[in-house]
A and B are shown apart, each in its own frame.
Chain A
Amino acid sequence: MGEDFELLRNVTIGQYIPTGSPVHRLDPRAKIIALVLLVTAFSITLSPPVSLLLLAGVALIAWAARIPLGYLARGLLPMLPFLVILFTFQIIFRGQADRQGQVIFEWGFLRLTHNSWPVVAVGLIRVVAFVTLASLLTLTTTTTHLTHGVESLLGPLRVVGFPAHEVALVLAIAFRFVPTLIEELDRVARAQASRLGHTGAASRWRPDKTLRARLPLIVPLFLSALRRAEELILAMEARCYVSGRRRSRLWRFQPTPLDYAVVAAGLALVALVWSLG
């Protein structure tokens, strides 16, 4: 029962760990661009050794950011059942499709061939890398910096009428509310448990039971969010917030040579992976 109340125990995305590392001190825009470039590099390669090298690079970034690898690995735990099932099916289908391929391993339906294993391996590495990279970005960047970075990067789109500031504000509000809502969820779960409700119960073969168990958590979560939204709207309007107006900043980002170097390294990496195939 206790585990029902530790909803964030294995969540690493969205947390921030202030270690004061060089990665933390990078310009958030450089970090976001580097993340997009790394995701691109992972997405264009089909070679397991290249993917593994890229993953080692991600581990190196984590080391430079002084984020324990064990902590990052814990973030993958909630996805484990999903990964196992999907990859078992991948091994079955890709192996069965490659009837002519040289078989490495065969056991019943499971069939791994010389042509199928690289794609399955690259796919697995890709999911692990995407989740780890997303975690690393939020672990090393405060939400304020992240939203300012997004706003600054989307800024040029303002000329075509894209509401860059407003979208960044939506993100800022979302990040701000996540811990509040999780706390709220925790409180609701405890309140339900004290009334003998089994809110954490999940049955794979009886999804209707899962729904019945989770509705008393999900509906109050939405309602609490909407109630808080009303309060925030009132507070913002009372302070004369008007969307679409130009705003000044208390401080501005000043990119350092290291930031440019990180972006250049990302671009070089994509070019290198592209040429390697």
Chain B
Amino acid sequence: MQLTTRKIVVAGVLLAVALVLAFTGLGYFPVPNVSDSATIMHVPSIIGGVLEGPVVGLLVSAVFAVDAYIRFGFLFAGAPAYLPFLILLVPRLLIGVAAWLVYRAMKNTNEIVALTLGAVAGTLTNTILVVGLALIFWGQIPAFAGVPQAAFVASVIPQAVFETILAAVVTVAVVAAWKRIETGRGKSSV
């Protein structure tokens, strides 16, 4: 696998942005739900994937994956050792890749639409895979014992919707300003 200077540097600075968002708490939006916060920690991975391809998306996702393990790893106390890696790490690593795939497929239609759909795809890949895998391995996770599956899914939906909107808004705002794309309100000039 060969990484160009551009890919190395962009992955590095986006990783720095992800770390800053995590350290300062700016990446977490307080919302009234079980996990206490909706996150935009996945947006650097989406932007990395959209701007520089799947490898950069994957590299930047790694920090979000480790952060998720630190925050939610304890929920898997008593579960098989591979489960936290499968449920917390793998879906997050795929965020940038999914965003890149959708963005590349849609790029020729309309850049803003492609960016929005890329961000939506990246976010939903994470949410759907995490929720899907949690439901598949439900019986093996003691933390979920006694929680109705429907209640779990219902509690995730508002957060997923909000995170998807957040990701789309931030991705379009950043990439449109960076690439100087016309957004319909005149040229962006941030």
Contacts and interface: CB of A to CB of B under 8 A. Distances in A.
Interface of A: 7-8, 11, 13-14, 43-44, 46, 78-79, 81-82, 85-86, 89-90, 93-94, 96-98, 119, 122-124, 126-127, 130-131, 134, 161-163, 166-167, 169-178, 180-182, 185, 202-205, 207, 210-211, 214-215, 217-223, 225-226, 228-229, 232-233, 236-237, 241-244
A249 B2 CA distance: 21
B26 A119 contact: no
Contacts of B78: 46, 119
A110 to B, nearest CB: 14
Nearest to A174: B15
Contacts of A8: 23-24
Contacts of A96: 146
B117 interface: no
A185 B3 contact: no
A147 to B, nearest CB: 10
A172 B36 contact: no
A177 B29 CA distance: 23
A207 B77 contact: no
Interface residues of B, number: 64
Give the secondary structure class of B's interface: helix
A37 to B, nearest CB: 14
B145 A97 contact: yes
A93 B143 contact: yes
Contacts, number: 203
Contact of A127 (B1, B3, B74, B190): B74
Nearest to B162: A207
The 4 A-B residue pairs whose C-beta atoms are closest, nearest first, are A97-B146, A173-B12, A123-B74, A177-B16
A191 to B, nearest CB: 13
A79 B35 CA distance: 12
B32 A225 contact: no
B35 A86 contact: yes
B37 A46 contact: no
A256 B131 CA distance: 47
Contact of A94 (B12, B26, B146): B146
A181 B5 contact: no
A243 B4 contact: yes
Contact of A123 (B8, B38, B77, B81): B77
